């Protein structure tokens, strides 16, 4: 089925609208620190309550970036330690954005894995909240250059955790984040492509460059939205 079919177009349009709504909502709440504080904490509590109930009920562990980001954002938003909030904001917003872009450009992946319209709508809503929550937190706490170390530590821990889970067979290697890590995500666009050494020689530097660009953009957003006189201590809320 073409990605431009009516069935896909409805979901693609809804996903694009959710991303736009999250951006405008985050911009609006950035103007009011009390409102942004309440929004961040409400989303954090929602993720923790909803996801703890889901995983305790199923007896499973979170195995993909999205699943991990729900808990990372939830815990870090409630912990009064500024540097972990910086990492959580960057990862949550990135996760929500990547999911949204993939849903728009590669909807067939999600239709194949989640035939239930209800499940897809819930996933889209939660990822929109991740995106909105991450953007809102970017405008709520002051970023510092030394926070790059915390972000790098979080990313390294996530990659190692997921790769170990995949290697031990307790997580699926065909999850979106795993496919981004191993470069096989391109096969949805070019199914006959052979993943040779030269492909990876181009792919991984490009992937790192895109992540670096995202981090740079997050610092720019933070600089433009957080008051210059805001205190940015280690335990800043």
**pLDDT band, very low/low/confident/very high, at 59 (cuts 50, 70, 90):** confident
Burial of 79 (0-12, 13-18, 19+ CB in 10 A): middle
Asked whether the predicted pLDDT for residue 173 surpasses 80, the reply is no
**pLDDT band, very low/low/confident/very high, at 4 (cuts 50, 70, 90):** low
Are 226 and 140 contacting, i.e. CB atoms less than 8 angstroms apart? yes
Residue range 136-147: mean pLDDT, rounded: 92
Asked whether the predicted pLDDT for residue 1 surpasses 80, the reply is no
Averaged pLDDT score across all residues of the chain? 87
The pLDDT value recorded for residue 166 is: 80
Radius of gyration of the chain (CA): 18
Residue range 4-23: mean pLDDT, rounded: 86
Asked whether the predicted pLDDT for residue 39 surpasses 50, the reply is yes
Query: How far is CA 129 from its chain centroid?
Result: 10
Q: Which residue has the higher pLDDT, 187 or 96?
A: 96
pLDDT digits 0-9 by tens, 71-93: 999 999 999 899 999 999 999 99
């Amino acid at each position: 089925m073409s990605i431009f079919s009516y069935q896909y177009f409805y979901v693609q349009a809804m996903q694009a609208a959710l991303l736009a709504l999250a951006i405008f909502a985050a911009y609006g709440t950035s103007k009011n620190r009390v409102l942004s504080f309440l929004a961040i904490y409400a989303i954090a509590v929602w993720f923790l309550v909803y996801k703890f109930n889901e995983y305790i009920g199923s007896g499973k562990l979170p195995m993909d970036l999205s699943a991990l980001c729900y808990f990372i954002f939830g815990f870090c938003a409630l912990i009064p330690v500024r540097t972990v909030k910086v990492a959580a904001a960057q990862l949550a917003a990135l996760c929500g954005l990547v999911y949204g872009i993939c849903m728009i450009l590669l909807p067939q992946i999600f239709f194949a894995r989640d035939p239930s319209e209800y499940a897809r709508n819930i996933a889209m809503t939660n990822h929109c909240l991740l995106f909105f929550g991450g953007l809102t937190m970017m405008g709520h706490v002051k970023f510092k250059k030394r926070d790059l170390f915390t972000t790098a530590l979080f990313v390294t821990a996530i990659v190692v955790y997921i790769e170990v889970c995949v290697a031990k067979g307790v997580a699926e290697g065909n999850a979106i984040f795993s496919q981004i890590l191993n470069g096989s995500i391109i096969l949805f666009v070019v199914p006959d492509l052979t993943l040779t050494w030269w492909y990876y020689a181009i792919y991984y530097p490009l992937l790192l460059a895109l992540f670096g660009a995202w981090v740079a953009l997050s610092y720019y957003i933070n600089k433009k939205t957080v008051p210059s006189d805001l205190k940015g201590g280690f335990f800043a809320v």
